[in-house]
Amino acid sequence: MTSPAPDPGEPIQVDLARVAGVGALVWLVALVVCLLLAVFSLISWTPVEVCGVGVLLGIFGVAWSRRHDRMGRRLPR
């Protein structure tokens, strides 16, 4: 016989814009490091491209979460 699953509790409120912004900053630091390494031919340019996409996705995540938060505040609950 299996025991019942424990109560997960209330969900934690998280500021997704802040999380995405921190992620974008981390990708930006990685982009600068990879860019320097690629300029000196120590690595290929592929990691630079990956980090650039990470920065863009982080910026998109910040914009989306801010818009989503504003829309959620307008909707009646």
76: pLDDT strictly greater than 80: no
Which has the higher per-residue pLDDT, 16 or 71?
Answer: 16
pLDDT tens digits, one per residue of 18-68: 999 999 999 999 999 999 999 999 999 999 999 999 999 999 999 999 998
Q: What token pair was written down for 72?
A: 């959620």
- pTM of structure: 0.79
User: Tell me, what's the pLDDT at 77?
Assistant: 53
Please report the beta strands in 2-53, taking only residues with DSSP state E, as ranges in sequence order: none
Backbone angles phi, psi at 76, to 5 degrees: -70, 145
75: pLDDT strictly greater than 60: no
